[in-house]
Structure 1
Amino acid sequence: MLKIQEIREIIKLVDNSSVDEFSYEHEGSKIELKKNTGSAHGAGIVQAEVSQPAQQAVQQAPAPVQTEAAAPAPAEEKKSEAASTDDANLHKITSPMVGTFYASSSPDSDAYVKVGSKVDDSSVVCIVEAMKLFNEIEAEVKGEIVEILVKDGQLVEYGQPLFLVKPE
């Protein structure tokens, strides 16, 4: 059986490649990925299905993963054009999975980072919980947190930007 991290890596590879469909089957487990690229503004959708033998499926099968990039509304296009020139030199920390975003390790704790916090490439910036597994997300770049794009407890998609970091 593939580990969840291996499945995530396969999803990333298919999403960033020109492959439209991918299927993998091993020892009764099957992964099928299909990418639809015909939506507006070149936005793509990656759908993943993982199937396993019945006795394992209840405990281990991840839910279908679906990512979609939404087109901005016409009123927001002008604002996003101005912001994109500012955002061009900012690094986006994105969610490596579908799950729930948590800014701190527990409800009683302070957030890992705030706007203005200095981070390095191994600094933990948040937790994304998926299937009762709490995954620490690292900054991957040295710099300063400029903006937090999601709220504590919010559901996030694979590849969704979580933070904007001004690299040093």
Structure 2
Amino acid sequence: MLKIQEIRELIKLIDQSSIDEFTYENEGAKLSLKKGGELAAQVSTMTQIPAERPVQSAVQQEPVAQAPQAAEPEKKAAEASEPAAENTVTITSPMVGTFYASSSPDADAYVSEGSKVKENTVVCIVEAMKLFNEIEAETKGEIVEVLAENGQLVEYGQPLFKVKPE
């Protein structure tokens, strides 16, 4: 099965190429990507593979995803609602699922307020359909606010953390 980062790379490559449609099948999972239409990604089988939105930590795990271009106004609206003086980056949930701050109930949280993160630092887990998806910071900086509670149901695009970039 492809990792989220590999899917992101595929989407970027397809977006930059003249290919309009791409299908990948492996071990019963199927990933179909189309450019420009209403249908950006369609995933078949019991195993769902997230599709990417071209903004901060933005992947979506649903049978039918929105076109990547349609997600940009959401990002601009979120930026406009935050005060400009704050200068923070928001890490959002890439899918609907359950937010977990640590790998197990008795383990320490991956990050907390004041934690330093790099682009590949795992900040939490979002569990969807018995699949535990590690969410990476994708930015370098310091966690200034944790916006989700451990065990809380989170929505696609819901802010999870605020990061002060370095």
TM-score exceeds 0.5: yes
Structure 1: segments with no counterpart, 5+ residues: 38-44, 52-56
Corresponding residue for 1:9?
8
TM-aligned CA deviation for residue 127 of structure 1: 1.0
Matched residue, 2:136:
138
Structure 2 residues without counterparts, runs of 5 or longer: 50-61
CA RMSD in angstroms comes to 4.3
Task: Give the match for residue 86 of structure 1.
Answer: 85
Tell me by how many angstroms 1:126 deviates: 0.8
Change beyond 3 A, Cα 1:124–1:110: same
TM-score, normalised with respect to structure 1 = 0.56
Corresponding residue for residue 164 of structure 1: 162
Distance of 2:97 and 2:17 partners within structure 1: 26
Shift in Å, 1:98: 4.7
Paired residues of 1:11 and 1:33 also in contact (CA < 8 A):
no
Alignment of 1:1-168 (within 5 A): 3-5=2-4, 8-9=7-8, 13=12, 22-24=21-23, 30-33=30-33, 47-51=40-44, 57-58=45-46, 60-62=47-49, 63-66=62-65, 81=80, 83-87=82-86, 89-114=87-112, 116-121=113-118, 122-152=120-150, 153-157=152-156, 160-168=158-166
Residue 125 of structure 1, CA deviation? 1.6
Q: Distance in 2 between matches of 1:29 and 1:82?
A: 38
Structure possessing the higher radius of gyration over alpha carbons: 1
Contact 1:149 1:164 in 2 (8 A): yes
Cα deviation digits, residues 22-58 of structure 1 (max 9, x gap): 3425589753345788xxxxxxx7652223xxxxx34
SS at 1:13 equivalent: helix
Aligned sequence identity (%): 46
| 1:8–1:65 distance in 2 versus 1, CA, 3 Å | farther
The answer on whether the counterparts of 1:99 and 1:130 sit within 8 Å (CA) in structure 2 is: yes
> Normalising to structure 2: TM-score of the pair?
0.56
**Residue deviations 1:41-88, cap 9 Å, x none?**
xxxx7652223xxxxx34x3555153575989xxxx8xx74624134x
Deviation for aligned residue 1:6: 6.6
